[in-house]
Amino acid sequence: MSERPEQPSTSGRRSTSGQPRPPEPRYGLFGEAPTHSALTLRAILAVFGLLVCAGLAAWAVVVDAPTWMAVALGVLAVVAVVDLVVIGRRKARGEPG
């Protein structure tokens, strides 16, 4: 019988004990790299939401729309401001996006 050469491990690396290392963890269905937050796009969307919600809240007050509508739009505008603060802090830390 012919001897087969030893097959290399799937990862091609060995640990200090000589045993093959387990493969690196996969992040997605096909092993793609983990994604990063698109902070610039998120900031643009937050500014858009802030402008729309603040504008509609002001309009709701002027045309005497139901109070709940103005309050809900105002709360969404505040959420957009908080999101912009979080985005600014993450960009200041140097996160990509």
What are 63-79's pLDDT values in tens digits?
A: 999 999 999 999 999 99
Q: pLDDT confidence of 94, banded at 50, 70, 90? A: confident
Q: Decide if 22 is inside a domain.
A: no
Cα separation, 85 vs 34, whole angstroms: 25
User: Number of folded domains in the chain?
Assistant: 1
Q: Decide if 88 is inside a domain.
A: yes
Whether residue 39 contacts residue 97, with contact meaning beta carbons closer than 8 Å, is answered with yes
Domain that holds residue 80: 40-92
- pTM summary value: 0.62
pLDDT greater than 60 at residue 6: no
Which two structure tokens, joined as six digits, stand for 10?
């799937």
Residue with tokens 């643009």: 44
